[in-house]
Amino acid sequence: MRRNRIGVPQADDLHVIHLGRLGYRAAYDEQARHQREVIAARAKGEPEVGRLLLVEHDPVITVTRRGDAAGHVLAPEKLLQAVGVAIETTDRGGDVTYHGPGQLVAYAVLDLNLLGLRLADYMRLLEQVVIDAIGPFGVRGFRDPPATGVWVRSEAKGSLGLEAKICAMGVRVSKWVSMHGLALNVTTNLEHFRLIKPCGLDRPVTSLAAELGGEGPTMETVRTALVECFRGQLAQTPGLAAKKKRWMS
């Protein structure tokens, strides 16, 4: 683990890893490896904040093991093959969703014990990261409990001002170290969401590009904003804030 100059875990210690374009299963194996390493670091008495893996996936529908999730894949297998969309079973929370090019996926492998976060607190943190990241681009995100994720009052053509989901979320925790995370639609092909019932909800999906009339920020710009907002939110977690306060006192 990279240590900061004061030797106390801080948000800046978050290790950001750019995976580029990668298939879902390969990315899953990579984040699972990082999760094992973060768990092992704590066991050795060297806890770390964690790692943030950023990736764009090849087109894929991921289905959780929830009883009704598979039924939310609306397209037959032949159609999925024809449009080049794979299907994978996953162990994250939530339901069914789509990943593909133009979507920024952030897999956060974080030591929630070190951060002092309960699972519910962590989900709210993920939502706030996205709300903070997209705000400066002129897109106002908000929560809509009990649904998880980030929503906007859509200004996309033909949306009629309906609330639409711009970022889906789902996580899994082992020994209080998280994996999986969030999927933010930047320039995603929204037509592919018609192949499923996203997150099991009959509600529209949108993207930054759709909301901004095709004049949205680049993927690189959004990645930079997301990382900055991640670190900003981590710095305010009970665990890191308390450690910094003790060091400064």
- Which residues participate in catalysis according to the annotation? 199
Q: Which residue has tokens 């299963």?
A: 25
Instruction: List the structure tokens of 230.
Output: 């991640």
Residue 147 CA to residue 237 CA, distance in Å, equals 23
Residue 96 CA to residue 76 CA, distance in Å, equals 15
Instruction: List the structure tokens of 162.
Output: 């309906």
Q: Are 109 and 53 in contact (CB under 8 A)?
A: yes
Q: Are 198 and 98 in contact (CB under 8 A)?
A: yes
Residue (of 80, 92, 84) closest to 31 by Cα position: 92
In order, the DSSP letters of 22-55 are E-HHHHHHHHHHHHHHHHHHHHTT----EEEEEE
210-233 burial code (b ≥16 CB/10 A, e <16): bbeeeebbebeebbebbbebbbeb
